[in-house]
Every structure is written in structure tokens, then in C-alpha cells.
Structure 1
Amino acid sequence: MKTTQVAVVGCGAIHTLHVEAIQSNHACQLRAIVDINPLKGLPLAERYGCRYYADYREMLCDSEIEVVHVCTPHGEHKEIIIEALIAGKHVFTEKPVALNPAEVKDIKNTLAITTAQLGVCYQNRLNPSSQKIKALLEDNRYGKILSIKAVLAWSRSHDYYAQSAWRGRWASEGGSLLINQAIHTLDLMQWFAGGVKSIKGVVESSFLSHATQAEDTAMANMELANGARGIFYATNCNTTDSPLLLEIHCEKGLLQLHHNKLWFISGDDQELLVSDETSTAAQKCYWGSSHQQAINNFYHSIKNTNNINYVDIHQAEVSLRMVEAIYQSSITRNWIEI
């Protein structure tokens, strides 16, 4: 079988997980990396044993490259995705797929005129706890869902924003906490509930107000598609990166994800259902541990088009609309329909 030739665009912190996944997949070969900074890109290309490009457009002219991974700042996603798709390359991109739903529309229009596929990295759906929750809810094991509560408390310093000028800027990141760190949590909430109907929320900037143009803290209430309530709180103002706390209140008890372990709690009884494990040293435990699986699923799907198993543009758009709704609701103080 022909080895799939791959390029990774953007050599920031997240690219390491993509490179590890590509190198671990025997059906793939890393052919090129792209970064506008040669002081970063050239040494990495030498380390990985691949080509280096400073301009992704030059890389797209390489007819051998079949798949492009987009690991750049958010504001560059749309342009690179569209140009790669037009060039006939399949694309696997980090979240968010774009800065806003208007940009998503442009990407959808491009997908309509190409046979190339686009996958978006929402790897937390593939964590053992997430897969277990989804299966239990679909089986109606514990009865009707009454509410879903999520609390995300992470730590981001002034230096974090200062080191990369695109972070925390509306034009280059599309916001801050919500569109970067918390979008995975929003995605899980709506995925477990089969979607979301409306949101009322508020954003605030406090400890990080001098570091970012946008929010460092957010909260929201949601009307989920299955009729349950959604309760959401997130902040980058914590002094440590705490694992996601997620609780799903069902008629027969409580599913609780706490310290990366999923429990079922009914009265005084507690049952450990599954534990999430970090599969690679390059991965931060609070990110989730499923980049490898998400990337493998995408490569399997592009070879087996009758068995698509990745988050596509339509699924990825939902959490982006949730982010936009919270921003809008914070201004209007109204419920926003999704």
C-alpha cells in the first residue's frame, strides 16, 4: 500500500502531537513541515528528517503531499484550509476550524466543489471517559438526562500571551478562553446532549485583563437539545490546570468525571467506570489523551470513504456557534438561539 505523504503547517506547541501521531502511523510519512520562522522550522525539519518550507503555498505545489495538518494560529486556519482543499489535499486541522461561522460558510463552499476531506481535531470526544459517557447515554442506561454541568479551571499567565502575539486577540484568535481552551468542553456538552437549542451567558476579563483583549472567564446556562439544562463555567485565572469536572445528572443517578476518572454515583454508592490515561509524554494530562486516535481515524476515513469517522465541518461548527452565542449574549443579556 502506498504510504500517505503528509505536511504539517505550523510548528507551535501543538504540532508535536501531530508529528508523533504521523510517525506512529505506518501508513503515513512526514514529508514536510511549514513554519514562517526558519530558526524554528529548519532544525525541526532536520530532526524529523523531512523537508522545510517557509511558505505553505510552496508546499501545496508538491504533488506527492496528500494530507495537510493545520497547526497554526486560529486566524490563519480558514485561508490555509481553503487553499489546501483547492489544491486537492485532504486537511486535518486543529480547532477551531475558523474564527467564526461566517468563515465556516466559506470553507463549506469550498468543500462543495472538491472531493478532498476536512477533519477537525476534537480529540476529547475520543477519551475513554467521553466514549463511555456517550455509549451509556445512547443506551439510556441511567434514564433521562436532567442536566449537564461542566467546570474548567485552567491557568494561563501573562507570559503565555506575551510569548505569542496572536493569543488573546480578536483578529488573530477570535477571542480567548472560550474559543481556545473551553471550546472542547462546550463541544462535549452539546455532543452528549445531541445538540444545543439556546444559550445565555456572560464573559469577563479580570486577572488577565492586561494580557488579553478578550475574556479570561466565562459562564453560561444552556437549553440542550434533549431538554436538559446545561451549566457551564470556565476560567484561565486558576493557579493550576485542573482536570475538567463534568457531571451529568440522570434520573437514576450521577455520572461524574473528576480527576480524569468517570464515576457513577447513586445515593451512597459509587462505581468507577473508566479512567482516562495520558498516552504520551508530549501531552498535557488535562488536554485529554486522544490526538493519536483522532488522527488515525482521519487517515482510515480518507482511505475508506464509506466509513467516515472524524469530526466534520458541520459538527465542528456547533461549538463555534456556541462560542459566538455566549459573546453575543454577554452584550445583549438575552438568550441566543443556536
Structure 2
Amino acid sequence: MLKVAIIGLGDVSAIHYLGIQYSQTGQLVAVCDKNDALKNKYPNIPFYTDIETMLQTESLDVVHVCLPHYLHYTVTKLCLSYGVHVLQEKPLALSYKEGLALKDIVDNRSPKVAICFQNRNNPTFIQLMEELAKRETGDILAVKALVAWHRGSDYYQTKPWRAQWETAGGGTIINQAVHTLDLMQLIGGSLQSCLASLSNIGEAQIEVEDTAVATFGFNNECQGFYMSTNAYAFNSSVQIEVVTEAAIFILINNALIKHVEGEAPIILARDVPMEGSKSYYGASHGTLIRAFYEAIIHDTDDYIHVEDALPSMLMIDAMKQSSLENRQIKMEEIIHG
């Protein structure tokens, strides 16, 4: 049984707690948060307020990093220095450059680092990728992704780091919609260009953007359109639409629907929400956590690596630069910049 700890006891830690139980191969033996008021959140589990003290005291196999964005790189690096495997929440880092720095560290160390892009494991997305791989409906022509959620002023006031560029790295593009960007690039392929506009149209007075619109170019001539906002009235279902030469596939409301002109729509797959989780967290934290533990136990590479998460950071940095400079950005500018 792997000895597991959680660092950061915010909202998403509860989902990781359920995933650890679901794994059947990991046991939570310690938790850590600088807020002493959270020491009873997980009763009978040793509680620490200092990460390094926990790493020195406990004999840990794997740590779940569930901290604010600006701490991901430094805390993951610290855990690796103690020879502990890391499951890190999204996003990979604050920037593409910082993500590359983490990749360089991981490439030279034996502990594994997995990034929590659990929606890759949703049955609907797996089925979508299988359908596209068959090529029975021809080439992919376009992919559209829409995220319309609500985050009011209280969301940022309770945790001010969410509202600042320096600590969050962005607003909706990096906090709410990074999972959708990740899936979008898996569908579209190698990224070539981006033209984006970031803005604020919601009630919250924040430094980071609450709304983003962008187009992406992929190397196979597939065209991408993306929009996300935190200014909607509630959390609507994420929608991903893939247009091929002979069909349209839509991911919405935990279902994958296939549309062919002149035929009735077909539901190809459905997701089953994880017990106790919010629907927009995705259904597959448990699957991802169990797979990572198995990769540790059997020393395999079957998990989402740091390198796998770099394209999402590339998209985020490209959107920020494109909006700031009001021009199309070639991805090579970010990669070699």
C-alpha cells in the first residue's frame, strides 16, 4: 500500500481524498496546509502546517499537490528532492517557460510527476478519440470549445490569489478552462498559431481576465475556436464540438453525441459522475489516481507526464501575448521566446 499525503486542503482536496480511497492501493497518512483551522478536515490523519517538516517526518511514497498555481513548481520540486512521487493538480505551472523548467527537473530524477488532467479519462472523451482515430468520417475540419461558468466576487475575495496574474497566471483560461484547452489540443493536433482577446465583463473587480475568445490553427489545417467565461449566471455544461468531413461529434452534458446529416443523432457514450464530486470537476479523478499509483508500483510510464501538459501552457501563454499585442501569435514565438 502506497503511503500518500495531500498538500493543500482547499476545495479540490476532497476529490483527491475520494480518489485515494477509490484506488485501493494508496493510504492517506498525512495532510498539510498552512491554515491551522483545517487540521480537523480529515480526522485521525496527521496534520502539518510545514511541507518540509512533513516530508522529513513521514515516509511518503506519493504526494498530491493541491495548492494555488504559483506554488506548483516550487512545491513539486521540493517533493522531488525528497524522492517522493508527485500527483500535481492543474495547471502545470504559471507559464510555458516554468513548465519547461519542471520538465528539465523531472527528466533528471527518478520520482514520477503526473499532472491531473482527469478529463482525458472520461468515457465520452475516450470514445470520441477512438471514433476520430477510425477516420470513418474523414478528416477533422474544426474543433470548437465553450466554457460558460459563474464565478462571483466572493470566489476571488475568499482566495485573493485567484484574482492576480502573479499568483494565478490568468483567470478563466488557466483556472476553469485549462482542462478544455488540454482536450482541444489532443483533438486538433500540433499547435501552430493563436489569435485571442482577453477581457473582463463580469461583476468581479479582478486583475486577471474573466472572459476569453480565441482561434487556434493546427498543423493539419484543422481550425479551432475557443471561448470561456466566468461571467455567466451559473455553471453550464462544457461543450466540445468536432466537425469532420462526414459527421459532427458533440460532447455535452456528460454525453458524446454523433450527428450525421439526414440521420437521427446517436449517443455513443456517457460519463458517470464520481460520487461526492461537483459535476464540473469531471468524472475521472479516481481513474487517474489509480492509474498513477499502478504506474508507481509497476514502474511504468502510463500516466500524464509534465511534457503532456506543456501544450495547454503554450495555448495559455499564446492567448495572453496575442491579446496584449493585439495580433496573431505563432507558437514558435512562445517556444523559442
TM-score normalised by length of structure 2: 0.95
- In 1, the alpha carbon distance for the partners of 2:10 and 2:69 equals 12
Q: Which amino acid aligns with 1:237?
A: A
Give matches, 1:270-289, under 5 Å. 270-281=265-276, 283-289=277-283
What's 1:246 paired with?
240
Specify every segment of 5 or more residues in structure 2 that has no aligned partner in the other structure, as ranges: 332-337
Query: How much has 1:109 moved relative to structure 2?
Result: 2.6
Alignment RMSD: 1.3
Match of 2:16 in 1: 18
Cα 1:195–1:287, aligned 2, differ >3 Å: closer, same or farther? farther
Given the alignment, which residue of 134, 137, 157 partners 2:132?
137
> Of residues 75, 90, 94 in structure 2, which corresponds to 1:95?
90
Query: For the residues of structure 2 that align with 1:9 and 1:279, how far apart are their CA atoms?
Result: 22
Q: What's the offset of the Cα at 1:44?
A: 1.9
**Displacement after TM superposition at 1:112 (Å):** 2.9
Distance, in Å, in 1 between the alignment partners of 2:183 and 2:312 is 9
Asked if the contact 1:208/1:216 (under 8 Å) is kept, the reply is no
**1:251-262 alignment runs, 5 A limit:** 251-262=245-256
Structure 2 counterpart of 1:43, one-letter code: N
Query: Are 1:50 and 2:48 an aligned pair?
Result: no
Q: Any conservation in 2 of the 1:245–1:257 contact (CA below 8 Å)?
A: yes
CA distance in 1, matches of 2:171, 2:6: 24
**Distance in 2 of aligned mates of 1:90 and 1:199:** 34
Which consecutive residues of structure 1, in runs of 5 or more, have no partner in the other structure? Answer: none
Q: Shift of the alpha carbon at 1:332?
A: 1.4
Partner of 2:34: 36
Segments ≥4 residues shifted beyond 3 Å: none
Q: 1:323 aligned to 2:316?
A: yes
- CA spacing shift, 1:276–1:90, aligned 2, 3 Å: same
Whether the 8 Å contact between 1:86 and 1:110 is mirrored in structure 2 is no
- Structure 2 counterpart SS, 1:43: coil
User: Could you tell me how far apart the structure 2 residues matched to 1:221 and 1:314 are?
Assistant: 23
Question: Which residue of structure 2 aligns with residue 237 of structure 1?
Answer: 231
Q: Deviations over 1:13-33 (max 9, x none)?
A: 000011111122221110100
Of 35, 46, 62, which aligns to 1:67?
Answer: 62
Structure 1 residues 103-182: aligned runs within 5 Å: 103-182=98-177
Shift of 1:256: 1.1
The 1-side partners of 2:295 and 2:266 are apart by 35
Match of 1:302 among 286, 296, 300: 296
Give the structure-1-normalised TM-score: 0.95
Higher relative contact order (CA 8 A, sep 6+): 2
Q: Secondary structure at the match of 1:44?
A: coil
Q: Give the direction of change, closer, same or farther, for the CA distance of 1:89–1:23 in structure 2 (3 Å limit).
A: same
Summarize the Cα distance change of 1:36–1:4 in structure 2 as closer, same or farther, 3 Å threshold: same
2: CA distance, partners of 1:312 / 1:215 = 28
Cα deviation for residue 209 of structure 1 reads: 4.9
CA distance in 1, matches of 2:92, 2:250: 29
Q: Is the 2:112–2:296 Cα contact (8 Å) retained in structure 1?
A: yes
How many positions carry a matched residue from both structures? 330
Q: Is the 8 A contact 2:100 2:310 kept in 1?
A: no
Q: Which residue of 2 aligns with 1:217?
A: 211
